Amino acid sequence: MAQGLLRFITAGSVDDGKSTLIGRLLYDSKTIFEDQLESIEQASTQRGTDGADLSLLTDGLRAEREQGITIDVAYRYFATPQRKFIIADAPGHIQYTRNMVTGASTADLAIILVDARAGLLEQTHRHSFITHLLGIKHMVVCVNKMDLVDWSQERYDEIVDAFRSFSSRLDIPDIKFIPISALQGDNVVDRSEHMAWYDGPTLLHHLEHVHVAADRNLQDCRFPVQYVIRPQTDADRDFRGYAGRVAGGVFKVGDKVVALPSGLSSTVTSIAVGDKQVEKAFPPQSVVMTLANDIDLSRGDMLVRENNQPDSMQDLDARICWLSEQPMRPGTRFELRHTSREAKAVVKEVVYKLDINTLHRIEDDIEIVMNDIARIRIRTASPLLVDDYRRNRTTGSFILVDPGTRLTVAAGVIYS
């Protein structure tokens, strides 16, 4: 398998056909099983739908099937000889935006569906903006339901132009446009016979070949210590290993490293995956490193290289997406989670909220409500070791946890 794994999310407004598109991808790539098809055919007949309703494949909750909507992200898996895929099928309703954010935070690519009849809607803008905010570098805009606009190139071009004018203000380097009919299968897996004017790839062909490995940061060495391994058994009484997932750069045995925040130096003496010794470690590997000397190093600390260090900051300039039904105003206190570290935090200032349709800044309203996207300033009780999110998705992101309810209330990215 030449390309490894591709994680992507399908987003867009309600009824733009996300679940149907995924059903179509699974069906045409022959990854639907007989008993699954039997079960949805039975359910479709019961509900009086013409043909098998492919959206029933992903709408797995009772409440979703009752209402014919998607409430939470469903994950689906399929493979072609070229690649393995993990799909996050995100809900379109504004009320469930936080579930869309959940799905998008781990995606390499976003498919934004647009209904060819309706054109761009508020949720199209919101989801595109969240894609940009979360630093997803690859986007495919699928203009869906082309069968319902007589396969019109004119209509397609109109939507493409409108989207381009909106997305010119977003930082998404790779955007592709594809006209499709998820219901009938045009340009999803097989080429459409109705749109000779389109000469680009089908959706599946594009997904199989898009190159995402280069998005990983191999320059800046970052190893947040997750867990210290001390066996306390007779055989390994003196063993002290630092377990974690490489967040950036390449660590090699023999490398000089600096532990932060202590600033103490040491040398990497071994790197292991399980009980197998390896020479180097890179993202997103989970490894255990040992060092030449015993230094003070525990969960929440970070190993880096001396000449390339993250910023140590207590005052953060962040963009957040607010995920809680409880509104927030400046002065509210939270627990902030960043890499393997936790810190008390207080919101000092709401700089602005964003009008999602126009991307205009709203500066005179400082109350943040659910699904708002805002720029805020936060102060933490102790310094965090951060990078700009655009350089590193792991060291540039955080969540806020409400100390009372213990719920995750915001997703944040740091621009430094």
Interactions with other proteins, residue window 392-411 (CB under 8 A): 393-394, 397-399, 401, 406-408, 411
Smallest separation (angstroms) from other proteins to the CB of 330: 22
**Residue number, 75 or 197, with CB nearest to other proteins:** 75
Q: Concatenated DSSP letters for 254-301?
A: T-EEEEETT--EEEEEEEEETTEEESEE-TT-EEEEEESS-----TT-
Which positions from 8 through 37 interact with other proteins, judged by CB under 8 A?
33-36
List phi, psi (to 5°) of 193.
-95, 0
Q: Which residue, 119, 380, 125, 394, is CA-closest to 249?
A: 394
Does residue 391 touch other proteins according to CB under 8 A? Answer: no
- In the complex, minimum distance from the CB of residue 399 to other proteins, in angstroms, rounded to a whole number: 5
β-bridge pairing 241-245 and 227-229 = antiparallel
Contact status, residue 366 vs residue 390, Cβ threshold 8 Å? no
Task: Count CA atoms closer than 13 A to 376's CA, side-chain side.
Answer: 29
How far is 114 from 16, CA to CA, in rounded Å? Answer: 6
| Phi, psi of 160, deg, nearest 5 | -60, -45
Q: How many amino acids of this chain bind other proteins (CB under 8 A)?
A: 77
Nearer to other proteins among residue 26 and residue 260 (C-beta):
26
With respect to other proteins, which residue has the nearer C-beta, 141 or 246? 246
Q: Say how far apart CA 165 and CA 290 lie, in whole Å.
A: 52
State which of residues 2, 81, 238, 293 lies at the interface with other proteins (CB under 8 A). Answer: 2
> Any contact of residue 172 with other proteins (CB under 8 A)?
no
CA distance 74 to 57: 10
Q: State the DSSP H helix or E strand holding residue 205, giving kind and residue range, or none if neither.
A: helix 203-209
Considering only 148, 243, 366, 370, the residue that binds other proteins (CB under 8 A) is 243
Among positions 213-232, residues that touch other proteins (CB under 8 A) are 213, 216, 218, 226-227, 229-232
Looking at the chain, the number of H-run helices and the number of E-run strands are 7, 23
Pure H helices in 272-379: none
Binding-site string for other proteins from residue 307 to residue 346, where x marks contact by CB under 8 A and - marks none:
----------------x-----------x-xx-x------
Q: Of 11 and 120, which has the nearer Cβ to other proteins?
A: 11
Q: Distance between CA 311 and CA 323 in Å, rounded?
A: 27
Return the residues of window 264-303 that contact other proteins according to CB under 8 A: 272-275, 282, 284-286, 288, 299
Closer to other proteins at the Cβ: 171 or 325?
325
29 is written with which tokens?
A: 């790539």
Spell out, one character per residue from 82 to 111, where the chain touches other proteins: x when CB under 8 A holds, - when not: --x-x-----------xx-xx--xx-----
Contacting other proteins within 51-70 (CB under 8 A): 57-63, 65
